[in-house]
Structure 1
Amino acid sequence: MAAPLKGLILCGGRSTRMQQDKSQIAYHGKPQWQYLYELVQSVIPDVYVSCREEQKATLHTGIPVIMDNVEGAGPSVGLLSASAAYPETAWLVLAVDLPLISEQTINYLLAERKPDKDATSLISPFNQLPEPLIAIWEPSGLKKLQENFAAGRNCPRKTLLNADIFQIENPFSAEQYNANTPEEMREAGRQLGL
């Protein structure tokens, strides 16, 4: 039987390369965290935002939040905090730095989910590796991530590379564009017609 599925928007990064909080950039007329939250909530009713304590005040009242409460840095912290809060749950995870993602990619990922695997992950069109932050992590995959994290290996992609995952090519792969720098933010804006 498949684990229940929740959505998780990862906002807890420090955004040092962007020089501003990526979760607050308004590519779609609203903060990016809100755009992604509403996007995922349109297909999965139970969605959470993962963030640092100092970011919580930038979210709207009533938004379900999972605080980054695992010691360490990087995207594993948000995933592991969510897994600690709901250990028997699978998570559809999106990083906040995905300005081009739309419902078609989310629906495709959901349709291809393989709950008997550790994760279902899109393949990066840029390096052909699994995308750990556009993926569905099953409880078994999150357990492996926790084991790696405890052993000092803080890379969700490396966890996926050494796990039993289902990788899929996204027919909408341009939506997997990450914006981590001011230049990439401007390019995303150009692609969105801003």
Structure 2
Amino acid sequence: MANKAMTGLVLAGGLSSRFGKDKSRVVVHGNAGDLVDFSLRLLGSLEDIRQVAVSCREEQLAYLKNKDAILIPDEHRGQPTPLRGLVAALRRVNTPILAIPCDLPLMTPDILALLLRARRRHLEQTQRFPLLRTTFIDRDGFLESLIGIYETASLQFLEDALRKQHWGIWSALPSQGNCLIPQPDSPAFLNMNTLQEYENAVRLLSEKA
């Protein structure tokens, strides 16, 4: 089961209201393309990933059509939410999904590989409850729900949360279905919600170069 085909999913359908423009189109890594390009290459570099996809709004399709990825628009109109994109993706690909938001310019393959290894170990053990999600937990007990692996069995719970308009992915799944690993103390988890955070990411990348 651990070797079952997996899809890498870039969550790019947010409105970027605090950023002021569609941040999925922003270029942070010089000539490496926009943040969607960066995220797709990041996921595609992982051994367990067999295909990559982008969760988006319908109005983003024209811009994204030349990406080398499956495009999965939200299935229903309404409030854009990562939950809606995750549900649409699980329905579409029918494989486990490793999801990341598009605004993680410092994320690395090594960090994401921690999730893949934890999932593999978990599935090799006899468990009382079926695995639904593998994700990071920080020192305050917060789950990094947007950076995680979602099994196909999680879909029914996520759909139920969506029907009830409970947008929090972290609380949509039973806790006994979680495989949680400590979140590393790393700048890889820096996301870009504002222009100030964008400038900070550019600065950190230039220091690493």
Is the contact made by 1:49 and 1:65 (CA closer than 8 Å) also made in structure 2?
Answer: yes
1:179 to 157, 180, 192: 192
Query: Unpaired segments of 5 or more residues in structure 1?
Result: none
How far apart are residue 154 of structure 1 and its match? Answer: 1.5
Larger Rg: 2
Kindly indicate whether residue 37 of structure 2 is the aligned counterpart of residue 34 of structure 1: yes
Q: Which of 43, 46, 51 pairs up with 1:46?
A: 51
Larger % of helix: which?
2
Match of 1:55 among 60, 64, 87: 60
TM-score, L = length of structure 2: 0.84
State how far apart, in whole Å, the 2-side matches of 1:83 and 1:136 are: 11
| Partner AA of 2:201 in structure 1 | A
- For the aligned residue pairs, the C-alpha RMSD in angstroms reads 2.0
| Residues matched between the structures, number | 192
2: CA distance, partners of 1:62 / 1:37: 8
Farther-moved stretch of structure 1 (140-149 vs 155-164):
155-164
Runs of 4+ in 1 over 4 A off after TM superposition: 160-163
Please show how residues 1-194 of structure 1 align to structure 2 within 5 Å.
1-2=1-2, 3-29=4-30, 30-43=33-46, 44-59=49-64, 60=66, 62-72=68-78, 73-87=80-94, 89-113=95-119, 114-115=122-123, 116-124=130-138, 127-160=140-173, 162=175, 164-171=177-184, 173-193=186-206
Q: TM-score, normalised by structure 1?
A: 0.89
What's the offset of the Cα at 1:176? 1.0
Superposition deviation, residue 61 in structure 1: 5.0
CA distance in 2, matches of 1:98, 1:142: 25
Report the identity percentage.
Answer: 33
- 1:172 offset after TM fit, Å? 5.5
Equivalent pair of 1:130/1:160 in contact (CA under 8 Å): no
The worse-fitting range, judged by mean Cα deviation, of 175-184 and 115-124 is: 115-124
